[in-house]
A and B are shown apart, each in its own frame.
Chain A
Amino acid sequence: MLHNDTINTLIHLPELSGASSESLAHFIDKGFPTNKWEEWKYASLKSFNEVAWSWTPTSIQNSVAVPEFQQSLSIQTLNGQSSILGNLPNGLTCVPLNQFLNQNADFKRLYEKRNPLLDQNSLYHLNDAFNQNPLVFCVKKDTILDASVVHQFILKAQEAPTVIQGKIILYLEEGAKMTWIEQQASLASESLVFSNYALEIWLSEQAHLTLYKDQDLGQGISLVDHTFIYQAANSQVDMFTFSINGTFVRNNLHFYIEGPQVVSNLNGLYVPGEGQLMDNHSVVDHRMPHSESNELYKGVLLGNATGVFNGKIFVRKDAQKTNAFQSCKNVLASDRATMNTKPQLEIWADDVKCSHGTTTGQLSEEALFYMRSRGISADAARTLLLLAFVQQVIDKVEITSLREYLSSKIIHKIEQSWEA
Chain B
Amino acid sequence: MVFQKLRPYFCASIENSNQMMLSVNDLHARIGEKEILKGINLEVRAGEVHAIMGPNGSGKSTLASVLAGREDYEVTSGSVDFLGKDLLDLAPEERAAEGLFLAFQYPVEIPGVSTTNFMKSAVNEIRKYRGEEAMDAVQFLKMFKEKMAYVNIDQSLLSRALNEGFSGGEKKRNEIFQMAVLEPKLAILDETDSGLDIDALRIVAEGVNKLKSPENATIVVTHYQRLLDYIVPDFVHVLYKGKIVKSGTKDLALELEEHGYDWIISALD
Contact = CB atoms under 8 A, between A and B. Distances in A.
A345 interface: no
Interface range on chain A: under 10, 10 to 19, 20 to 34, or 35 or more? 20 to 34
Contact of A372 (B96, B112, B118): B96
Contacts of B97: 375
Nearest to A387: B112
Contacts, number: 76
Interface in A364-391: 364, 366-367, 369-378, 380, 384-385, 387-389, 391
Contacts of A375: 93, 96-97, 122-123, 125-126, 129, 182
Given A372-B93, A373-B102, A388-B113, A366 B125 contact: no
B214 to A, nearest CB: 24
Interface in B48-95: 68-71, 91-93, 95
B155 to A, nearest CB: 20
B108 A364 contact: yes
B161 to A, nearest CB: 8
Given A369-B70, A369-B92, A388-B113, A376 B122 contact: yes
B143 to A, nearest CB: 15
Contact of B92 (A366, A373, A388): A373
Contacts of B95: 373
A392 B71 CA distance: 31
Contacts of A372: 69, 91-93, 96
B121 A376 contact: yes
B201 to A, nearest CB: 22
Nearest to B65: A369
A330 to B, nearest CB: 15
Given A369-B70, A369-B71, A374 B110 contact: no
Interface in B207-238: none
Contacts of B165: none
Interface string A378-420: 1010001101110110000000000000000000000000000
A380 B70 contact: no
A384 B121 CA distance: 9
Contact of B125 (A376, A387, A392): A376
Contacts of A370: 104, 107-108, 110
B111 interface: yes
A370 B161 CA distance: 14
Interface range on chain B: under 10, 10 to 19, 20 to 34, or 35 or more? 20 to 34
B178 interface: yes
Given A369-B70, A385-B113, A388-B113, A374 B108 contact: no
A375 B98 CA distance: 9
A387 B108 CA distance: 18
Contacts of B118: 371, 374, 376, 384
Contacts of B107: 370
Given A375-B182, A376-B121, A376-B122, A388 B110 contact: yes
A389 B110 CA distance: 10
Contact of B111 (A374, A376, A380, A388): A388
A202 B102 CA distance: 58
A377 B104 CA distance: 18
Nearest to A389: B112
A374 B112 contact: no
Contacts of A377: 91, 93, 125
B28 to A, nearest CB: 21
A289 to B, nearest CB: 36
23 contacts: A367-B108, A369-B70, A369-B92, A370-B104, A371-B122, A372-B91, A372-B92, A373-B69, A373-B101, A374-B118, A374-B122, A375-B122, A375-B125, A375-B129, A376-B118, A377-B91, A377-B93, A385-B112, A387-B112, A388-B111, A389-B111, A391-B112, A392-B112
10 shortest A-B CB distances, which residue pairs? A388-B112, A375-B96, A372-B92, A370-B108, A375-B126, A374-B122, A372-B93, A375-B122, A388-B113, A366-B108
Given A364-B108, A374-B122, A375-B122, 10 more contacts: A367-B108, A369-B70, A373-B92, A373-B96, A378-B91, A384-B118, A388-B111, A388-B112, A391-B112, A392-B112
Interface of B: 68-71, 91-93, 95-97, 101-102, 104, 107-113, 117-119, 121-123, 125-126, 129, 161, 178, 182
